[in-house]
Structure 1
Amino acid sequence: MTTTLFSAFWTYTLITALTPGPNNILALSTVTSHGLRQSSRVLAGMSLGFLIIMLLCAGIAFSLATLDPALIHILSWAGAAYILWLALRIATSPPTDAAVQSRPVSFWASFGLQFVNVKIMLYGITALSTFVLPHTRELVWVVGISVLLAAIGSLGNLCWALAGHLFQRLFRRYGRELNIILALLLVYCAVRIFY
């Protein structure tokens, strides 16, 4: 891998991992409402689901040159619907101490989000088909890069969770406004799936 290709890979993966998406917004919202410790199951569910999706992306990218556009279209609609459901849940969640007493999203809900999160699917397939498969078809490299992609994505989620933790007091004070902004960002993510 050339230096140019290597820097392009890191630029793409880090920007994609750190820009707002369903995982990042859910991590921020959950940690702001419930604290870092209580949100660890949510973050673990996201990370495990992310890893499985990256490995599936590796299998798909490795075995197929392109995906069936109809499948992407169905996944896009399912992903957008789930993201909009998350937006509604965040927008209507209690903003302050009442939220702390409720339970955070479960491990399985955050795990399941990964299977309809089109952003990470496109992230994995794009990174593998652009930066890896044109240069090597060795399964060890394809799987290794998939694990690396999952780690980078999980790091992005953790950064947003830490932001929720660091600014928790401020976010609790302006909780209703933050929930509305986060919900609108999720609506934006759902709309961006199609544009």
Structure 2
Amino acid sequence: MTSTLISAFFTYTLITAMTPGPNNILALNSVTSHGFRRSTRVLAGMGVGFLIIMLLCAALTLSLVNLSPKMTQWLSIIGAAYIVWLAWRIAMSAPSGAQSCHPPVSFWASCGLQFVNVKIILYGITALSTFVLPYTRDVTWILGVSLLLALIGILGNFCWALAGHVFQRLFQRHGRRLNWVLAALLLYCAVRMFI
């Protein structure tokens, strides 16, 4: 892997992990409404579910590529298209507002959320099919990157949980400009995938 590809990988994964999504909004909402201590089971459930989904994404993408090596090219194109779509959605989205209060969800509910969380499923498939599988099919590398993807995603959840109100104020005050910067960085990732 070249340093350009590695920087594109980390740019994509960190932006995807740190931008608003079901997990980050749930983490923010739970900690803001119920405090960090009462929200640990929510965060733990998200973490376990995230790890399981990343391992399933690794198995799925590796299986598809092993069935047909040409799938790598198609998955990369689909991944780039998803990144461009995500950039557009971020650029056009309104800044996040305050979240409503809900009772804290259980470990199993937050774990189960991961199985319907399209954002992280596409995050895993895109990262693996675009940044890993074109260069190696070594199961050790694929599992290692899957664990790294889960760790980066969990880090994003904890950042939102710990930041709580700070992120809400930031998005309310500078949300539009921040969205444009994040969108531009994602477009950079999509372009770097083919250069």
Gaps of 5+ in 1: 67-89, 95-102, 172-177, 179-195
TM-score scaled by length of structure 1: 0.67
Deviation string, structure 1 residues 85-134 (Cα, Å, up to 9, x no partner): xxxxx64x46xxxxxxxx41100110000000000000000000000000
> Which residue identity does 2:47 align to in structure 1?
S
> Which residue identity does 1:56 align to in structure 2?
L
TM-score scaled by length of structure 2: 0.67
Q: Which residue is equivalent to 1:81? A: none
Alignment of 1:25-174 (within 5 A): 25-65=25-65, 91=100, 93=101, 103-164=103-164, 167=166
Q: Aligned to 1:135, what secondary structure does the other structure show?
A: coil
Q: Aligned to 1:127, what secondary structure does the other structure show?
A: helix
CA distance in 2, matches of 1:108, 1:30: 15
Structure 1 residue runs of 4 or more that deviate by more than 6 Å after TM superposition:
none
Count of aligned positions: 138
Q: Percent identity?
A: 70
CA distance in 1, matches of 2:32, 2:51: 25
> Which residue identity does 1:3 align to in structure 2?
S
CA distance in 2, matches of 1:34, 1:141: 39
> Which residue identity does 2:108 align to in structure 1?
W
Q: Aligned to 1:121, what secondary structure does the other structure show?
A: helix
CA-CA distance at 1:167 after TM superposition: 4.8
CA-CA distance at 1:163 after TM superposition: 1.2
> Which residue identity does 1:107 align to in structure 2?
F
> Which residue identity does 1:33 align to in structure 2?
S
CA distance in 2, matches of 1:31, 1:167: 12
Q: Aligned to 1:141, what secondary structure does the other structure show?
A: helix
Alignment of 1:3-42 (within 5 A): 3-42=3-42
CA distance in 1, matches of 2:147, 2:47: 11
CA distance in 1, matches of 2:64, 2:12: 22
CA distance in 2, matches of 1:34, 1:107: 15
Q: CA RMSD in A?
A: 2.0
Deviation string, structure 1 residues 50-92 (Cα, Å, up to 9, x no partner): 00000000000000145xxxxxxxxxxxxxxxxxxxxxxx64x
Gaps of 5+ in 2: 66-70, 72-98, 173-195
